[in-house]
Structure 1
Amino acid sequence: MSNPVQNDSKRPVYRRVRFVAPAALIVGIAVGAAGGADKKNSTPAAAPTATATATVTLPAAAAKAPAPLPAATVTATMTVTAEAPAAPVAPSTPDKPKGDTIGGDGSYEVGVDVQPGTYKSKGPKAGGIGICYWERNNGGDGVGSIIANDNVQGPATITIKSGDKIFKTTACQDWVKTG
């Protein structure tokens, strides 16, 4: 039966330390990920740079080896440069109604964004799926909060009442107040 230490001592040093490069890579990635731009600063900063060094010392071969090798020290250095994170993007909000016109996509607060009254739309937006959705809502979430709604394929007329809280519209042409 062969002694595993003797067999290992006959291998070149570079084969015994093959794990050093991946270990250095992992350390470098961890250091690079930890570095980043100041999250309070909205302007992009220069890319941070981090250097990681991993040193591994291997013991000399066992005394029974024909020619014991001295202890081997391998040092790997890696520099990681990371890009600064992109500036956060503000969530899109629907265009505020202008005068007596409501945009065809959005959720609008009645009495703030839109006024009660009767509105007409020419129907679905061109290039869409051919359906226009509208909804009068009491301000809650879920199906139980819907006062009235419809999917229309042509022109539509709705009356937003003063007791409504929210008016939602999707894939419709603009709504124009008629009364």
Structure 2
Amino acid sequence: MSYNQPPPAQPPIPGQAPFGPPPGQPWPSKPKWARKRVAIPAALVILFFGVGIGSSDSESTQKANAASKPQPTVTVTKTAEAAIGTTKKAEPQPTVTVTKTKTAKPTKKPEPKVATIPGEGTFVVGSDIKPGTYKTAGAEESVIPNCYWARLKGTSGTFKDIIANSNSEGPTTVTISSSDGAFKTNGCKTWKKVG
């Protein structure tokens, strides 16, 4: 016998039906209701098995999470009685004080606190400096002593903003009006308010 040849067929046993359909005929198919009778219970068993695994995982996860969270601690303090048979005096209850704070709204613009003007810079009238008359001792000491000042309508930096200006070496007095927008000074000693 060679390995490529099929084994010889065995004769059927008398009185018994052969296993499977007769040769040359297909297997008989089962009715649909018989297939459903097997498929539905199998699907239910798989579903319940999956739900059971899922719920046991979530329960173990919840237990693990609960175990890892710190639990609150409670401390109870009791004071010892002074002596047996003495009556305990009632302790005074704490009083509750409610404080309401109202913040006053400013009614006008805060006035500048400075009554002097530094010798260098541009200052806005009303917020940086007060209007009034200011005097300087003159120019700062340098190679070319020169004190420049200008009363301005605004701070755009154009010639249109200049109301009045001057260059001086000695003491100078300037009156800044409340209608001026700004005051510019360059190379001057500190301006002090005199009026």
* Interval of TM-score (by shorter of Structure 1 and Structure 2): 0.3 to 0.5
Looking at CA atoms only, which structure, 1 or 2, has the larger radius of gyration?
A: 2
Q: TM-score, normalised by structure 2?
A: 0.41
Q: TM-score, normalised by structure 1?
A: 0.44
